[in-house]
Amino acid sequence: MILTTIAVIVVAAVAVGMSIAFMVIPPSDPAQRRLSRLWREAKTPTPTVTFRHKQKERAERVLQDVGKVMLPWSKDNGRTNVLLMRAGYRKPDSLLVYQGAKVVVPALLAVLILFTGVYRFNPALVLVTAAIVGFVAPDFWLTGRVRSRQKKIVAGLPDALDLLTVCVEAGMGLDQAIYRVSQEIQISCPELSEEMRLMNMEARFGKSRAESMRDMAARTGVEDVKTAVAMLIQTDRFGTDLARALRVHSITMRVKRRQHAEEMASKTSVKMVPALVFFIFPAMFVVILGPAVIALMRTLKL
């Protein structure tokens, strides 16, 4: 009886050990290794919703509710939609969030002024100033976002044209080359990659190539993109060599970017003058002339 019990325990221990070994040690068969890797990739954990994301969604819902009230009173929705589109906000509720921000931000500034006690100097003037600043602040923020996005698109356009030239010279069609370039520049310039991918999707869903390119130029609002689109449309219409036209245009874009960098570098000396006059020169005068002035004052007192 004791020997039977010991044998059962030994067999159970060996079975458990072998199962753990098979679970820990990777399989030697290549097919089993690939299947196990696919199984591990399929068991990816579900993404967790962070506290910041929840608060952002709540703030967006509040701004949307306020924007629904203010939307019928606003008159310049067309220009606002264009700016939101150029800033990269393409959701249907973006306009509602923006209109709600133009109401909530002045209210928050007014509450902040009341709690800090700044209104005691001149209540009417301070509250009116806070309301005006809070109402105009979203406009300045949106304009800054548009300019920042346009600068990134301009910076990534020459590289995209070079890649497009390589793809066309390799034998790809224009639509396929545009899609491949949008994948390649997704990390370096995600803004331009998004625009090119959207243009390709519009062309796939029935729009003509020229119309989808014009829509991309209108969405970005960048003159360099409009020039490149006009070149591509003209080349496609007249049947000229697309690779040569792309190469010449990419060289022109690089020369233009280098000239812009040289222009900004030449403006550096002029922009340094206010800083030299108001910040550096006074400190230098204090360090150089300070001891002489002190010595002169002591001499005159004697």
What pLDDT is recorded for position 295?
84
Averaged pLDDT for residues 98-114:
82
Q: 59 or 162: whose pLDDT is higher? A: 162
Report how far residue 160's alpha carbon sits from residue 186's, in angstroms, rounded to the nearest whole number.
Answer: 10
Report how far residue 175's alpha carbon sits from residue 201's, in angstroms, rounded to the nearest whole number.
Answer: 10
Q: Which are the contacts of 226, defined by CB distance < 8 A and separation ≥ 6?
A: 217
Averaged pLDDT for residues 200-204:
86
Give me the half-sphere count of Cα atoms (radius 13 Å) on the Cβ side of residue 144: 6
What pLDDT is recorded for position 41?
47
What pLDDT is recorded for position 146?
92
| Paired tokens of 68 | 């629904």
**pLDDT by residue (tens digit) across 15-45?**
545 555 454 455 455 665 665 665 554 444 5
Averaged pLDDT for residues 291-297:
84
Closest listed residue to residue 202, CA positions, set 183, 219, 187, 226: 219
What pLDDT is recorded for position 128?
82
Instruction: Look at the block and give the residue holding tokens 């509040």.
Output: 62
What pLDDT is recorded for position 133?
84
The alpha carbon of residue 97 and the mean position of all alpha carbons in its chain are separated, in whole angstroms, by 19
Residue 205 DSSP symbol: T
**pLDDT by residue (tens digit) across 109-167?**
888 887 877 777 777 787 788 888 888 888 898 999 999 999 999 888 888 888 888 88
What pLDDT is recorded for position 18?
59
CB distance 209 to 174 below 8 Å? yes
